[in-house]
Amino acid sequence: MWPVRPRRGGDLHAHRGRRRAAVRDRPPRRGLRRGRLTPQVRERSTEPGGQGRYLDASPSSSVPLPTTPRWLFALKGVLAVVAVVALVHVVEPSEVVRAVSHADPRWALLALALVPVNIGLEAYRWGRLVRRLAPEVRHRDVLRAVVGSYPLGLLTPGRLGDYVGRAVYLRAIPAGASAALTFGERMATLAACLVGGLVALVPYLHGPEAASPLWTAVMAIGWVATLVLIGMILFPGLARTTIGTLLPFAPIRRAVGAFAQIPQEESVTLLLLSGVRYVVFSAQFVLLARAVAPAAPWVELCIGVALIFFAKSAIPQVTLGDLGVREGAAVYFLGSVGMSQAAALDASLALFGLNLLLPALVGVPLLLQLRLQRRAEPTPDLA
């Protein structure tokens, strides 16, 4: 008979204890979590014989990366389709085709030539902020992160995919810091759009189309909100203390705390670069409007375009890629300066194609390349 080996209770309990400790200390899976992106960084252990451990690269005080529920994503997609269909019913489709067929290609080509300038300014602006935290980051890597995030941004409301895309592409800085810098960059662009729109409201209010006193109230509230926003960008510490005391809500505190990631000496440069980029994409819109409406006056076109971006920035983003919102504002404001509704719709859709759809198509190969690289990465040895 085979000898029966006696069970050793102490060894069994020790084995179970080691298994529990291994499960407890197991590092989180790499990649995307629901709610935030948490890239892990392998750090060499200081203990003798240590094999290293995985640390969450995001600081505890960082801003979580925003996500969108699937039902909200589907709802905003439906709203975008409904808005475009409603505009098509308002604007005669034959007039839209006629305006495109009679367009001047020279102005459209000039607008197309400004696409690299627009994206280059966006990458340079964000790269300056990133290199404050990671000086070794190259401009080429920043440009790839910006362009590669366009497909994700196009498919998410408010371009929230940009936050995730940039954090995935650029691992040199923590994901929370990347989200905070992207949020600050977006707010600087918002400030530029608000300032341009409020300035354009001055001549618009003296026109025959703006007899309602509601616009005066909009202008007053807009200036107050814009000055508060610029103050938060320039003085993040003071803004966090003041707004945190007046509005002690967690989402507001996180949003204001994001500005603390922007270095104080970079705040003015960030606003100036945002103003230059605002001039660039506004010039694209004016050129496209001039292409489909050669007789439209330049000054009125500039005022109408500034008001379009003002309305787009002030209205909550309820559709994917703001599709339908920008077009509706274009039909209203450009129509008030003498353009036909069909020409205004054509110019707005062309701007959407140049500044959002075209970069997204260029970024698709970069996104696929990143997915292949992540699949090819070997599984880390946790022994």
Whether residue 285 is contained in a domain is answered as yes
299 in a domain, yes or no? yes
* Between 182 and 21, residue with greater pLDDT: 182
Between 224 and 177, residue with greater pLDDT: 224
Q: What is the largest CA-CA distance in the chain?
A: 108
**Is the dihedral angle over the CA atoms 192, 300, 219, 311 positive or is it negative?**
negative
Give the residue-averaged pLDDT of 270-299: 94
pLDDT at position 3 is 54
What percent of the residues of the chain are helix, what percent strand, and what percent coil, each to the nearest 5?
70, 5, 25
Query: Could you list the residue range(s) of the whole structural domain that residue 308 is in?
Result: 92-118+185-369
pLDDT of residue 36: 39
Asked if residue 150 belongs to a domain, the reply is: no
For residues 62 and 302, the model is more confident at 302
pLDDT tens-digit series, residues 198-212? 999 988 887 665 556
Q: pLDDT for 120-154, tens place per residue?
A: 999 999 999 999 888 899 999 999 999 999 988 88
pLDDT, greater one: 286 or 257: 286
Sorting pLDDT into bands at 50, 70 and 90, what band is 169?
confident
Answer with the residue of higher pLDDT: 100 or 139: 139
Query: Which pTM does this prediction carry?
Result: 0.74
The pLDDT value recorded for residue 77 is 61
Q: Of the segments 15-19, 151-155, 230-234, 323-327, which one has the largest average pLDDT value?
A: 230-234
At position 84, the amino acid (one-letter code) is V
**pLDDT tens for each residue of 306-359:** 999 998 888 766 555 566 677 778 888 888 877 888 888 889 889 989 999 999
For position 279, what pLDDT does the model report?
97
Q: Please name every residue paired with 40 in a beta bridge, in sequence order, or none if there are none.
A: 56
Has residue 337 been placed in a domain?
yes
- The answer to whether the CB of 98 falls within 8 A of the CB of 342 is yes
End-to-end CA distance of the chain: 39
Query: pLDDT tens across 34-72, in order?
Result: 333 333 333 333 333 343 333 333 333 344 444 555 655
Residue 106 in any domain: the answer is yes
Q: Do residues 50 and 44 lie in contact, with contact meaning Cβ atoms separated by under 8 Å?
A: yes
User: Which residues are paired to 228 by β-bridges?
Assistant: none
- pLDDT category at 227 given cuts 50, 70, 90 is very high
Q: CB of 144 within 8 A of CB of 172?
A: no
Instruction: Please name the residues in contact with 304: beta carbons below 8 A apart, sequence gap of 6 or more.
Output: 289, 330, 333, 334, 336, 337, 339
Instruction: Judge whether residue 83 has pLDDT over 90.
Output: no
What was the pLDDT predicted at 223?
94
Domain count, the chain: 1
Instruction: Look at residue 339 in the predicted model and tell me its pLDDT.
Output: 85
Q: Is residue 15 part of a domain?
A: no
Least confident of 182-186, 331-335, 374-378: 374-378
Residue 324 belongs to a domain: yes
- Determine the pLDDT at residue 290: 93
The mean pLDDT of 280-302, rounded to a whole number, is 93
Cα–Cα dist 356/312, whole Å: 15
Residue 34 lies in a domain: no
Q: What integer pLDDT is reported at residue 16 of this predicted model? A: 58
Average pLDDT, the chain: 76
pLDDT band at 191 (very low <50, low <70, confident <90, very high): very high
Angle, vertex CA 72, rays to CA 68 and CA 77, nearest 5: 110
Identify the band that residue 30 occupies on the pLDDT scale cut at 50, 70 and 90.
very low
Rounded mean pLDDT of 16-36?
Answer: 50
